[in-house]
Structure 1
Amino acid sequence: MNMKDQVCIVTGGAGSLGLHSALAMLEQGARVLLVDLHADALDAARAQAAGHGDRVATFAGDVTDPGQARAYVDDALRRWGRLDVLVCNAGINGAIRPIADYPDDVFDAVMAVNVKGTFLACKHALPRMADGGSIVIVSSVMGVTADPGVCAYATSKHALIGLMRVAAKEAAGRGIRVNVVAPGPIANDFQADIERRLGEVLGLDATRMLDEAIPLGRHARVEEIAQTVLFLASPQGSFSTGSVFMADGGMHV
């Protein structure tokens, strides 16, 4: 999975999956720009990647803002002169409420970060990516199925698969591959927050409930999902495009 000197942007780069995906690519020689909203979280992520020296950099910005999306692409090109890989990982989970009670502003926020943020990343990165590059969009098992109470999250994750399929067909002539990774529950803080709130609504242990719903019987380790991202970002995934790669332990089956 040699990625020596390939330039990668990872949105949501200070989060668990974004950072571990970046670390996996850095281990293979890539140069990575971590993009996230909060500068302090980026500082912590940068410290974890400190062993990779000047091959890792950070950009604090709002992925829902067109000007800032253009700016982080500009920043990667200014630093390293090219762009080979885009990992669209920025996302929020929203509320857990029935549709009839779901707050309008929360629905709008989830769609803005998860869908518009990914659209803007592709819009500004694709024209400037090197031919033969790769875009990896992080959806979810909720992109191919659904549960009560997560209308905004599930809608946004379904939408990302549609966006991916359009981008894959538009970019194929330049050899640029576009794919979705659809994780199931991951043992990290993002998922723990969902399960805490879900457990309060259902009055049960949501983590245990989900483990029982996953044929492999457990949550994923974040490093496992990062390896799927690495495969698609690297030359190993050279003939895969337009596809949804499930990494959910069989939960959707």
Structure 2
Amino acid sequence: MTKLSVNVNKVATLRNARGGNTPDVVKVATDCEIFGADGITVHPRPDERHIRYSDVFDLRSILKTEFNIEGYPSEAFIDLVLKVKPEQVTLVPDAPDAITSNAGWDTISNFEFLSEIIDRFNQAGIRTSLFIGTEPEYIEKAAKTGTDRIELYTEPYAAFYETDPENAVAPFVSAAELARKLGLGINAGHDLNLKNLQFFHTRIPFLDEVSIGHALISDALYLGLQDTIRQYKECLK
């Protein structure tokens, strides 16, 4: 069964809007685990506008499921990951001021850069994943960097799902099949939600993990966190 990793960035955004520690990011993350999440994802940014570096250390000490840290591999980020030693690090090509991840890696232009960083994480025993689009040439080059997995950037799928689901998912099926053939594990994330997740999952049955934050936390406002996680898990059966 595909694992569900809950991204708690939006919880930190709400906390930071008021100051203090409400809502408590650590408690929400542990509740997510209790309610059935298979992992927790965070994406600390240089300005710490949501997840703070201190949150990452706090979470590491209490999480019992897989911990996935996303981010652009600056030296500060690399140092954080090597100190925390999560189960997985997901490298994204975000500029420091990006609101959210909005593109995958050009693994051809960034091949040497990524290969060196991935080697450092591999030596530390940390599983690596590259945030990437569906372009075959980028996936083929990703496999040569030494990464363990790719994370498919699914916003294009989500954008066209309601009008043409089959054509929306087709490039992702092809990308996943290629990645699997090359020996890569396959994650996915960005704009997956209760409407489009099950269809995506049925077309890519060898999907290892999905990372979902914005939609899941938004749904929890209406459904409650426990029932929301239950419904997302149902989509992955």
The TM-score with structure 1 as length reference comes to 0.36
TM-score (norm. length: structure 2):
0.38
The structure that is helix-richer by fraction is: 1
